[in-house]
Amino acid sequence: MIKKAEKVNEFLKKTFPHVHCALDFSNPLELLVATILSAQCTDERVNKVTPVLFKKYKTAADFANADSEEFMNEIHSTGFYRNKAKNIINAAKKISEDFNGIVPDTMENLVSLPGVARKTANIILGTAYGKNDGIAVDTHVKRLSGRIGLTKETDPVKIERDLMKIIPQSDWTDFSHRLITHGRKICNARKPDCNNCGMNSICLFFKSNL
């Protein structure tokens, strides 16, 4: 498994040497809000909503004091807007009250925020703070790590645990970004382009469909 992981990691590094988060942001607070909005929504849609949002709400206090009905209307197009609005406003309140208005930079404190689980926390830590504390497991990472054969688990927390054992910690954040990029460009959910995938020689999914 470790040898396969090394081959996958090296292939992704060579294929996608320069990766970044697909969400547009300029500080940890903006990334937190954008990540919460991205649940069950495309990054492209979120990036269309956030420019106006970030001009209006610049601090945690701004989000904390937002009118819930007005805020729901502003994020309506991202889906699940009631729950997202509630989580963002309540997370902002906790950040304002407990963390001096600054998005925390530890896993323990991040997951204490409403609407923030390990995936979101890993994105904040790795992308905004440069801390490789874990591997963000979104739908792409879940799908590809299973298809390739890096894990047999289906639960994101267990998948992350498996990946952390076989991917060097220094690569955790970029590994997630690269796997997501590969998932969008080649190994999509409905019709993976296996013939044009540089990993098909070591991919469990490809071999099982020969």
How confident is the model over 31-69, as pLDDT tens digits? 999 999 999 999 999 999 999 999 999 999 999 999 999
Domains defined along the chain, listed by start: 2-19+135-208 (1.10.1670.10), 28-128 (1.10.340.30)
In angstroms, rounded to a whole number, what is the distance separating the alpha carbons of residues 194 and 97? 50
Main-chain phi, psi angles of 149, to 5 degrees? 105, 30
Nearest to 178 by CA among 147, 210, 136: 136
Catalytic residue, from 84, 133, 138, 162: name it. 138
| Separation in Å, CA 44 to CA 2, 26, 114, 121, 150 | 34, 16, 24, 21, 28
162 is annotated as an active-site residue: no
d(CA 148, CA 178): 14
Confirm if 56 and 79 have CB atoms less than 8 A apart: no
Locate 126 and state its tokens: 């790795």
Q: What is the pLDDT of residues 65-97, one digit of tens each?
A: 999 999 999 999 999 999 999 999 999 999 999
Name the active-site residue from 84, 119, 142, 162: 119
* Residue 210, pLDDT above cutoff 80: no
Question: d(Cα 99, Cα 102) in Å, to the nearest integer?
Answer: 6
Question: Is 48 an active-site residue?
Answer: no
pTM value? Answer: 0.94
Q: Secondary structure of 115-173 in the HEC alphabet?
A: CCCHHHHHHHHHHHCCCCCCCCCCHHHHHHHHHHCCCCCCCHHHHHHHHHHHCCHHHHH
Contact 159, 137 (CB under 8 A): yes
Q: Rounded CA gap, 188 and 10, in Å?
A: 20
Residues 6+ apart with CB under 8 A from 184: 140
Give per-residue pLDDT as tens, 123-154: 999 999 999 999 999 999 999 999 999 999 99
